């Protein structure tokens, strides 16, 4: 179960600061734009499966040939390349910036190599599957963790790694994982911290797994993204290969989704979710178009990496056969304590928001948690806007840069 004290603290912080999330595309190097960077394979079967970001560099690994290609985070330009361990095509960066690769491709066991001035000794994980898209957390040179979702065994595994040596392994099972999801290539694990991870299953669901919980049944999982949650009748709600990040005391998940199971699978369309409250997950950003086209026939992965900086979170996207793109997530914060309360020109009555405007403009309505509930133009004079059933009892209303606090 989610740590309640964390959720309460996060809520208290958000109530005091209203923030509207904005996401801006910084650059795109894609098939769709016709500007794919050098050595990024498109139009052919590829083993370039995943990216890592460290020291302002994007690392892309492939096993044919066994190379790691380096690209600029500023614009996606190709920089250089160096040799990787044979058969490796998954690359990760830990919290200290160490670059590690996983493989070999197609084997029923998993190895990890650290990349330094030369290839260091291998870390052997034994009978698990690299197709489960491993993830790292912490500093592997001191105390770090490697996670993998071995769906063929219905297991999420956490390996404790001290100075690049395995010292413990914790296993959590989903005992009745549906046979539909028991395969080697369509699951992903994304650590929030060393104990809590988000897993997603292609065409299935995303859920939180607590490594302290013990085994789960499917009924015990809080499947907070499904075909009908948080958006009804989603065509393709989950795609393998997202990432989780924290920003200003809130937790976000970015992962692929699709408008169609035939034309844009793993092509680059994605959503960013606020998952701070797992019982009230919201979509804060959505990209509908793709970097190229359907690539599910190669590897079912749409990979992301997020890097937090003082001015926001930089999100890097890689779609096999299609290209890369970069985005910046930030917010515009306004102190809720400064919101105007009890204004006669903005009030609620009978399920409607009444606004008397002195100039034409736009009104936006938010919950205290920052979820946008309504956005409509207003004219000079009296305006009435219908509120949805179940709207919060206290609303934040922004009209032409002024913020009001309104009770229903």
Note whether 235 and 286 are within 8 A (CB).
no
Say if residue 246 is exposed, middle or buried (CB neighbours under 10 Å; 0-12, 13-18, 19+). middle
Residue 242, SS3?
coil
Q: What is the pLDDT of residue 18?
A: 59
In Å, how far are 100, 183, 373 from 139, measured between CA atoms?
Answer: 11, 30, 40
**390 against 211, higher pLDDT:** 211
Residue 17 CA to residue 280 CA, distance in Å, equals: 19
Segment 71-89 mean pLDDT: 89
Give the Cα separation of 68 and 337 in Å (integer): 50
pLDDT confidence band for 14 (50 / 70 / 90): very low
State how far the Cα of 85 lies from the Cα of 114, in Å rounded to an integer. 10
The 10 Å CB-count burial string (b at 16+, else e) for 278-295 is beebbebbebeebbbbbb
Tell whether omega for the bond before 47 is within 30 degrees of 0, i.e. cis.
no
* Lowest pLDDT segment from 187-201, 327-341, 391-405: 327-341
Q: 162-201: per-residue pLDDT in tens? A: 999 999 999 999 999 998 888 766 788 999 999 999 999 8
CB count within 10 Å of CB 221 equals 16
3-state secondary structure of 130: helix
- The tokens 């392994």 sit on which residue? 169
User: pTM for this one?
Assistant: 0.79
The pLDDT assigned to 298 comes to 59
Tens-place pLDDT, residues 321-333: 899 999 999 986 6
pLDDT in tens, 358-370: 888 888 888 776 6
Query: Domains of the chain by range and CATH?
Result: 19-331 (2.130.10.10), 339-407 (2.60.40)
Burial environment of residue 385 by CB neighbours within 10 A (0 to 12, 13 to 18, 19 or more) = middle
Residue 57 has pLDDT above 90, yes or no: yes
Contact 159, 146 (CB under 8 A): yes
**CA neighbor of 247 nearest in space, from 307, 166, 163:** 307
């Amino acid at each position: 179960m989610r740590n309640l004290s964390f959720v309460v603290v996060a809520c208290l912080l958000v109530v005091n600061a209203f923030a509207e999330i904005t996401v801006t595309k910084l650059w795109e190097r894609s098939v769709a734009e016709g500007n794919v960077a050098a050595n990024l394979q498109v139009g052919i079967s590829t083993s370039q499966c995943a990216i890592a970001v460290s020291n302002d560099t994007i690392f892309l690994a492939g096993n044919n040939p066994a190379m790691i290609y380096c690209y600029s985070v500023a614009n996606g330009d190709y920089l250089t390349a160096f040799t990787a361990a044979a058969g490796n095509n998954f690359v990760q960066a830990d919290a200290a910036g160490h670059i590690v690769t996983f493989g070999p491709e197609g084997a029923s066991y998993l190895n990890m190599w650290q990349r330094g001035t030369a290839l260091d000794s291998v870390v052997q994980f034994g009978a698990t599957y690299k197709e489960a898209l491993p993830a790292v957390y912490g500093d592997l040179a001191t105390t770090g963790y490697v996670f993998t979702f071995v769906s063929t065994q219905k297991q999420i595994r956490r390996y404790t790694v001290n100075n690049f040596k395995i010292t413990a392994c914790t296993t959590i099972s989903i005992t009745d994982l549906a046979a539909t999801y028991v395969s080697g290539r369509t699951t992903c694990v994304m650590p929030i911290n060393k104990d809590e991870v988000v897993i997603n299953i292609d065409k299935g669901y995303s859920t939180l797994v607590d490594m302290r919980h013990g085994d789960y049944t499917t009924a015990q999982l809080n499947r907070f993204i499904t075909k009908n949650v948080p958006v009804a009748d989603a065509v393709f709600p989950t795609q393998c290969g997202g990432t989780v990040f924290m920003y200003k005391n809130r937790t976000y998940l970015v992962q692929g989704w699709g408008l169609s199971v035939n034309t844009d699978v793993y092509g680059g369309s994605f959503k960013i979710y606020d998952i701070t409250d797992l019982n009230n997950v919201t979509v804060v950003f959505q990209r509908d178009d793709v970097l190229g086209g359907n690539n599910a026939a190669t590897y079912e992965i749409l990979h992301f990496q997020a890097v937090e900086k003082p001015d926001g979170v930089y999100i890097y996207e890689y779609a096999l056969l299609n290209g890369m793109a970069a985005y910046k997530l930030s917010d515009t914060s306004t102190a809720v304590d400064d919101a105007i309360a009890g204004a006669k020109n903005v009030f609620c009555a009978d399920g409607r928001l009444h606004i008397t405007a002195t100039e034409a403009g736009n009104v936006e309505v938010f919950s205290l948690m920052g979820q946008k509930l309504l956005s409509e133009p207003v004219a000079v004079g009296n305006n009435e806007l219908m509120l949805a059933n179940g709207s919060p009892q206290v609303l934040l209303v922004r009209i032409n840069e002024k913020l009001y606090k309104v009770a229903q």
